[in-house]
Amino acid sequence: MATEMQLVGAGLAAIGTGAAAIGVGIIFGNFVNGALRNPSAAASQFTNAIIGAALAEGLGIFAFVIALLLYLKA
């Protein structure tokens, strides 16, 4: 029973990697939308978009590592 629950937990943790990809898409989609509306402010907001994407990807990698640890322990 514990092994099955570890595999379920690994699958649920793997959802975080997909959520991180969705988050990065939202970040850059909103950046492009804002850059098209105000091109003069795009250069100053690009670093904020990169930092946000890095944080989202970091959480995705963390979720992936947790999923691997749960899967390999099962």
Domain carrying residue 6: 2-73
Q: By the 8 A CB rule, do 28 and 53 touch?
A: yes
**pTM confidence score:** 0.80
Query: Where residue 31 sits, what CATH number does that domain have?
Result: 1.20.20.10
How many structural domains comprise the chain? Answer: 1
**Mean pLDDT confidence for 47-58:** 94
**Through-space distance between the first and last CA atoms of the chain, rounded to whole angstroms:** 11
16-45, pLDDT tens digit by residue?
Answer: 899 999 999 999 999 999 999 999 999 999
Tell me how far CA of residue 53 lies from CA of 31, 59, 62, in angstroms. 11, 10, 14
pLDDT-derived band at 56 (thresholds 50, 70, 90) equals very high
